[in-house]
Amino acid sequence: MVKFAEAEARRFRSIFVCRRCKTKMRAPNIKIIQHKIKCRRCSGKVFRAVKKK
């Protein structure tokens, strides 16, 4: 789990996109997983990594 998070962070450079308003946010991967990051625009807590199809 930890290794996966690390690899993911490296791959996507810890940049995430809000699923609600599509704002890009840079945050530590582990915080995204733990839902400790709030979107600054819509306060949504659901993020996805960039470049995900």
* Site for Zn ion contains 39 (CB under 5 A): yes
Angle at 29 between CA 47 and CA 23, to 5 degrees: 35
* Site for Zn ion contains 42 (CB under 5 A): yes
User: What SS3 state is found at 24?
Assistant: strand
Residue from 6, 10, 21, 24 binding Zn ion (CB under 5 A)? 21
CB nearer Zn ion, residue 7 or residue 50 = 50
Strand order through the sheet with 24-26: 24-26, 15-18, 47-49
Q: Which range of residues in 5-13, 27-35, 42-50 is near Zn ion by CB under 5 A?
A: 42-50
